[in-house]
Amino acid sequence: MAEPHEERPRKAGELSWTAWPARERPLAAAVLIVAAVVLGMLVKKGTDDSFLGVAAPGFVLASLSSFLLPTSYRLTKESLEVRSLGVSRVRPWTEMRRMTVDRTGVFLSPFDRRNWLEAYRGVRLLFGGNRDQVVAFVEARIGRGAAEA
């Protein structure tokens, strides 16, 4: 796994890094991009519509942006910030009730128990070679709310 990339000088009680899965798995990224291009050609040929031939792979690649493009994370004492595609989402730790740790990251949920709304209201933090630091930081803010997956 890649080393964490510090975005700015770290302040006390702050952790920041950038995760870029496509950089760690370039073959998978290349296969996805080639598959999207082939999809575009097939859609164009099947529908005879150039717009759909561009839009279809565009939507597929946009849905995979968290894999294909870098995402920056910043955890502070008060909040967590996730930046990707020029959009920044800031959520206070007080909203987070539970954490689930898996092989690639931590999922933070605003619900005490599993809920179907988690996928829409939760936040996923991908590790960037700093698993232990991220898990310790999150545990210190919200406690241990779920067993590791």
Domain ranges for the chain, please list them: 24-66, 71-142
The whole-number average pLDDT for the span 28-44 is 97
Largest distance between two CA atoms of the chain:
58
pLDDT tens profile 46-91? 999 999 999 999 999 999 999 999 999 999 999 999 999 889 999 9
**CA dist., res. 118 & res. 114, Å (int):** 7
The whole-number average pLDDT for the span 137-147 is 78
Look up the pTM and report it: 0.82
Q: 5 in helix, strand or coil? A: coil
Mean pLDDT of the chain: 90
Q: What is the DSSP letter of 77?
A: S
